Structure 1
Amino acid sequence: MDGIPEGAVTVVDDTELLRVLRSFNPWWTTGKVPEHLVPPVRRSVYYALASRLSQRQWRRAFILEGPRRVGKTTLLYQLAADILARGTLHPRRILYVSFDHPIAKLARLDQVARLFADVAGLSEAEPTESPAALWLLDEIQYTADWAAWLKWLVDQHPHFRIVATGSATVQLQVEGADPGVGRWAPVPVPPLSFFEYAALRDLPLPRLDGMPRDFLWVRPPDRQAIVQLVEACRVLEPHFHRYLLLGGFPEIALLDDPGALDLLRIDVVDRVLKRDMVALFNVRNILQLERLFVYLCLHTGEIVNRETLARELGVTGPTVDNYLAAMQSAHLIHLLPNVDLGGKKLLRTRPKVYLAHPSLRSAVLMQGEDALMDTTTLGHLVETAVVTATLHFAREAAPWAGYWRDPASGREVDLVLTLPQAAAVMEVKYQPDPVIRPGEGIAVYRRGDPSVGRWQITRRAEDAGPDPDLGLVRLPAFAYLYLLGWLLHHAA
């Protein structure tokens, strides 16, 4: 593989690095990926990614972004396994390396490339009709000068297929912004949808044929379609609360041991807050950061008061802003801005904060089913699941997203999604009496505007159906979240 640029003096010996690479890639010898690394269930993002990789004219790398333990590494192994099963690449032309490994972390990407070229025989002319090699680069942000070398790989070897992962987007954006323009595409890997959780747990998977993928924006389904949807999903209702507590992360979702949450807590607190934040975001006071994250876990689904947080933590307002931005970039939280009646972000307003998945709250606060006993807490967990899942579902449409709050009256709408010619607004009322009165936020927000779809997410299946008086549609949370996941999976 001629033309590799001159690199700095390497720290790790070639022999030692090659030993690590061989341990990462047993298929170089056996011809297949070990079965324990390749679970049979494929996520929606896997099918979308595999489809784009198969396009012959594709000339970009992919960077998978998402929180730890969300399954990014598994996606890489599944890609390798399926390509080997199809026989489209020789086993020695598939490279996996995790730069989280202490030896690999000392290596440069050009050194890895040079050793892989020798193993794969890439000094020969590359084919022009099919990929020459598949590069699977895990936790790429931990290797030096990754952005420049990844740009070089994409520019000089367009017939390589490259998929990398990164748990911390700010590092990827800051280091990769200039050299990476047009060279790679981010691919979000969110926590499990309710559909994916059901598939992973081998639960019944109701078919929901006939529901349009853009149902949020168009004329809502009629009563019969809604009733059929809810009845089909009733079989999953008993599993919904467990999904809230344990269902966002594949490894944790599969374990029936309540102690499984400790694995997630260790990764979030010890690895992300105490290691990634120090290494990638230059956070110096870990105790302050941890206290802030615990506070956000307690108040997921609520409006964040910057001044209050700064006072309680004994830091400045800009420090709070920096911490919140770092947590969002590490995929721990979503910050939802306040928007006006047109759906545009307002300046100098207080955001609402949502954990990436409600199971993060269970893990960090070490609370299990007792969290379900408190109506307010349960409501916030459901709102967190609904808002984050909806944001991911609507991502391709690229709407303006936020919440609406009228400062004069205090009226509020949990989620507003706005496109140039359409909008969807959503209110989550997960309680026995989900009545919305004519003067409440979702009822008055752009009243009479036919381009606005209105959705109320409730608890009881009996509440499902359209409400002509308020111009909204009610769906129980378990059916709504399953529907989003089902549609994403079958569109991939």
Structure 2
Amino acid sequence: MALTSEGDPVLFDDMLTRYLEYGGMPAIASLSTTQAQHSAYMSGVYEAIAVRDIVNRERGKGKSAVTDPYLLRHVAVFLADNIGNECSSNRIAGALTSAGSKTTNKTVSSYVDALEEAFLFYRVTRYDLHGKALLKTNPKEYIVDTGFRTWMAGYRVTDTGRLFENAVYLQLLYEGWSVHVGKLYGKEVDFVATKDGRVLYVQATDEMFASETREREIASLKSIRDNHEKIVVVRQGSYDTDIDGIRILSARDFFL
């Protein structure tokens, strides 16, 4: 059992909240790590990735080379701010150009590819559950560590739900699942995970206190007409463990 410096036990919910904000980098895993220490560490790690692993490696590639560390940072911040959202190079280029960083979708595509090759972000493709085929358009991006996202956003932890969704995605990867985003007749399933012939449908949500929230979260899972396992992972609250054959898991049960 983890203990605070005063010898008090650290509850799982407190550890999860801290993980969502500060991430899981081993060097700053101490419960006493301050925001200033976290910021200095994440800044150093990002600079090492951006300069050594990306910009220096890309030099000499020609027109498609990633050579502007400032534009790279802008693209990374945009992706970090939009984890779990559908992203396209056109959308990113338009947003950055409007904000004063004029660029093109082709350039953005090269920069996004470089960030993914450095394993700072993961591209998650969409899967059409009706047509049983991968979709080439509008993938989603998730970040390798939630602490990077918090640092890039200036420690504005206002959308814990998306950070939690990102954490669920990382846990599925850790457990060896191949993960896609599910699409079915306009509805979306957060994750379609496959491993060793198994298929797992996963919804991740911050809470389901209101009945309409519960119905919204399970609606897409209920519309899937097969017998593969379906679960909803919830960060806060206590609920029935089964709703119409769909398992409801607390964050503690899912991660531990």
In structure 2, the residue matched to 1:185 is: none
What residue number does 1:332 align with? 120
Q: Deviations over 1:124-168 (max 9, x none)?
A: xxxxxxxxxxxxxxxxxxxxxxxxxxxxxxxxxxxxxxxxxxxxx
Where does 1:68-107 land on structure 2 (aligned, <5 Å)? Answer: none
1:294-323 superposed Cα distances (whole Å, 9 cap, x missing partner): 111211111112211122333333322222
Q: Shift of residue 249 of structure 1?
A: 0.3
Whether the aligned pair in 2 keeps the contact of 1:412 and 1:440 (CA below 8 Å) is no
Residues in 2 aligned to 1:421 and 1:364: alpha-carbon distance in whole angstroms: 38
Aligned-pair identity in percent equals 24
Larger radius of gyration: 1
CA distance in 1 between counterparts of 2:217 and 2:26 reads 42
Question: What are the within-5 Å matches in structure 2 for residues 148-187 of structure 1?
Answer: none
Structure 1 ranges of 4+ moved more than 4 A: none
Q: Which runs of 5+ in 1 are unaligned?
A: 1-198, 205-233, 484-492
Tell me: CA distance 1:203–1:319, structure 2 relative to 1, closer, same or farther (3 Å): farther
2:55 equivalent to 1:286: no
Q: 2:183 aligns with which of 389, 405, 414?
A: 405
| Alignment-mate amino acid for residue 270 of structure 1 | E
2:37 to 257, 260, 279: 260
Q: Is 1:378 equivalent to 2:149 in the alignment?
A: no
* CA RMSD, Structure 1 to Structure 2 (Å): 2.5
CA–CA separation in structure 2 for the residues paired with 1:438 and 1:480: 17
Q: CA deviation at 1:336?
A: 0.3
Find the residue that maps to 1:346 and give its secondary structure: strand
1:193-342 aligned at under 5 Å gives the runs 202-203=2-3, 235-254=11-30, 255-282=32-59, 283-313=66-96, 314-341=102-129
TM score, norm. by length of structure 1 = 0.44
Which residue in the other structure is 1:52 paired with?
Answer: none
Q: CA separation of 1:464/1:273 partners in 2, compared to 1, >3 Å: closer, same or farther?
A: farther
1:388 maps to amino acid: L
1:274 Cα deviation from its structure 2 partner: 3.2
Letter in 1 for 2:151: A
Q: 1:461 offset after TM fit, Å?
A: 4.4
Q: Distance in 2 between matches of 1:425 and 1:385?
A: 16
Q: Distance in 2 between matches of 1:312 and 1:438?
A: 30
How far is 1:428 from its partner? 1.0
* Contact residue 328 and residue 334 of structure 1 kept, 8 A: yes
Of the three residues 343, 346, 365, the one matched with 2:153 is 365
Letter of the 1:272 partner, please give it. I
Q: Deviations over 1:190-212 (max 9, x none)?
A: xxxxxxxxx7xx359xxxxxxxx
TM-score, length of structure 2 as denominator length = 0.82
Q: Is the 8 A contact 2:204 2:233 kept in 1?
A: yes
CA distance in 2, matches of 1:293, 1:251: 22
Deviation at 1:328, TM superposition (A): 1.4
- The secondary structure found in structure 2 opposite 1:259 is helix
Give 5+ residue unaligned stretches, structure 2: 5-9, 60-65, 97-101
Greater strand share, structure number: 2
CA distance in 2, matches of 1:302, 1:311: 16
In the aligned structure 1, how far is the partner of 2:217 from the partner of 2:52? 50
